[in-house]
Amino acid sequence: MDLTPIWLTLKLAAITTMILLIVGLPLAYWLSKGRSIAKIILEAIITMPLVLPPSVLGFYLLMAFSPKHGIGEWLHNIFDIQFVFSFKGLVLASVIYSMPFMIGPIKSALQQLPLSLSQASYTLGKSERETFIKVLLPNIRASMLTAAILTFAHTLGEFGVVLMIGGNIPGVTRVASIAVYDSVENMDYTSANAYSLILFCITFIMVISVFVFNKYKAKSPLE
Amino acid sequence: MISIDIEKKLRAYPGEQMLKIAAQFETSSITKIYGPSGAGKSTFLKIIAGLIEPEYGKISVDDVVWLDTVLKTFLSPQKRKVGFVFQNYALFPNMTVQQHLEYVSDDAQWTNRLLAIGKLETFTSHKPEYLSGGQQQRLAILRAMAIRPKLMLMDEPFSALDPKMKSELIPGLKSIWDELGTTVLIVSHNPQELEGLTAREIYVESQ
């Protein structure tokens, strides 16, 4: 059995999770502070992948980043970057598709912290940034771990969106979920079963680890 | 000298109430703030600390303007650096007693002195969840003191302390306030609680 799709999937999930941790933490913090029209609209956009068919999202990404249209053409001509049918495209699609799984738990955890924690830190002369890093983040560690694991696990299971933007190029965009589909199409049930079992085991271990780690840290293991 | 003249709308049932306070506080004085629940005592302290902005107001401390809603002057809480003791303590769950003080000051001699005053020397490695209510309240006071404040704002700071502990703690705090020339405003419900400590009392009532 070719293990490349498994490694590619793990690499995609790891990169996506890292990018979303870096982007998601400040974004979730900003969204957790008060309400405004801009925040409501942005939050709705971030949440859309939860309810939108993945193929729809994939289709729009394919159109947007096609080297023959708009942004895709501009990126291709100016920077020689092509997102469609490349691993870069998979990362971009995964970041957008898994964003609500990172933002949601972190934003919710930040909103549940008493306002007086940051207020106390401000009166002690600490900046908003220092307060965020030294007071707020350490007190939402359980939720950060939940968000990171859910993001990782969700990326492992992506199918429609990655198929639309990445296609099925062995060693480049052929991730495990596509390999399962492809094997079934070719009546190779042994490979399909092997890929499925590996994905099932990895995901199960990750979900179990969230429940175990959060057992004493949060009211609900999925908080 | 601290000069305060503020107006702030408070949410109340039914409708709204207006908190209006105009007062001056001598440097190094200790003043008790009292009044009925919901009158806006805590809000008053938070306005002074810069945590809440009033609709109208002017606050100046030793001729430095902290707040002037007409001139749109607003000094951030970080720059005001008042010692603030929150009613709910607002301790950081991730930090031990020692880390709470080190977060504010790296002067070990100073933090050790505070720990001795609060009788928390043997609890330095404890996180708030492993402290009693009284110990948590003392830690909240010590943390606020650690910045060597010129103005100390305390919201029900002794409510969880037994009379013996209170009588041992207050002289220690008083000696530091005298040393630093700290002006202290203490919100308290208990009429007898601060007898002998405060020279002045202000009654707060929203209209």
Residue among B88, B92, B127 with most chain A CBs within 10 A, to mutate? B92
**pLDDT tier for residue A73 given thresholds of 50, 70 and 90:** confident
Helices (H), B50-160: 77-80, 97-104, 108-117, 133-145
Q: What does each C-alpha distance from A205 to A49, A57, A58, A131, B111 come to in angstroms?
A: 25, 29, 28, 34, 45
| B interface with A, Cβ–Cβ below 8 Å | 46, 49-51, 76-78, 80-84, 86, 88, 90-94, 103-104, 143-144, 146-147
CA separation for the pair A42, A51 (Å, rounded): 15
Alpha helices in chain A (DSSP H): 4-32, 37-51, 54-65, 70-79, 87-112, 115-123, 128-131, 141-156, 160-166, 176-185, 189-213
CA distance B200 to B197: 9
Contact B133, A153 (CB under 8 A): no
The pLDDT of residue B181 is above 80: yes
Query: For tokens 């498994």, what's the residue?
Result: A6
What is the mean predicted confidence (pLDDT) over A128-155?
A: 94
Predicted confidence (pLDDT) at residue A162 exceeds the cutoff of 50 = yes
Query: In chain B, where are the structural domains located?
Result: 91-148
Which of B51, B93, B103 is closest, CB to CB, to A124? B103
The answer, yes or no, to whether residue A221 has pLDDT greater than 50, is no
- Whether A93 is in a domain gets the answer yes
pLDDT band, very low/low/confident/very high, at A102 (cuts 50, 70, 90) = very high
CB-closest option in B86, B93, B94 to A116: B86
What is the value of ipTM here, to two decimals?
0.93
Tens-place pLDDT, residues A121-140: 999 999 999 999 999 999 99
The chain B residue lying nearest A133, using CA atoms, is B94
> For residue B60, what are the β-bridge partners?
B3, B65
Cβ proximity of B155 and B44 under 8 Å: no
Q: Which domain holds residue A101?
A: 11-173
Residues of A in contact with B106 (CB under 8 A): none
Q: What is the mean pLDDT of residues A82-108?
A: 92
Q: For residue range A166-184, list pLDDT tens digits in order.
A: 888 988 999 999 999 999 9
Confidence band for A211, pLDDT divided at 50, 70 and 90: confident
- Please give the pLDDT value at position A222: 47
B60 secondary structure, DSSP code: E
Domain membership of residue A81 (yes or no) is yes
- Beta-carbon contacts of B129 under 8 Å, excluding residues fewer than 6 positions away, are B93
Residue A2 has pLDDT above 60, yes or no: yes
Q: Is residue A86 part of a domain?
A: yes
**Which chain A positions have a beta carbon within 8 Å of B78's beta carbon?**
122, 125-127
**pLDDT for the residue numbered B186:** 94
Res. B103: pLDDT tops 60: yes
**What's the CATH code of the domain at A136?**
1.10.3720.10
Instruction: Tell me how far apart the alpha carbons of residues A151 and A147 are, in angstroms, rounded to a whole number.
Output: 6
- Predicted pLDDT at A217: 59
pLDDT for A76 equals 82
Average pLDDT rounded to a whole number, residues B174-178: 94
Asked if B83's CB is within 8 angstroms of A116's CB, the reply is: no
Number of folded domains in chain A? 1
Neighbouring C-alpha atoms within 13 Å toward the C-beta of A223: 19
**pLDDT confidence band for B65 (50 / 70 / 90):** very high
A179 domain residue, yes or no: no
Q: Considering only alpha carbons, which residue of chain A is nearest residue B93?
A: A139
Instruction: Tell me how close the Cα of B79 comes to any Cα of chain A, in angstroms.
Output: 7
* Contacting residues of A for B50, CB less than 8 Å apart: 122
> Whole-prediction pTM value?
0.87
Say what the pLDDT of residue A79 is. Answer: 84
Residue of B nearest to A126 (CA): B78
Give the residue-averaged pLDDT of B96-109.
96
Which among A120, A134, A138 is the nearest to B86, CB-wise?
A120
Residue A210 lies in a domain: no
Q: Look at residue B39 and tell me whether its pLDDT is greater than 60.
A: yes
Q: Do B49 and A123 touch (CB under 8 A)?
A: yes
Is B18 a residue whose pLDDT tops 90?
Answer: no
Cross-chain Cβ contact A139/B94 below 8 Å: yes
Give pLDDT, residue A84.
87
Residue A220 has pLDDT above 60, yes or no: no
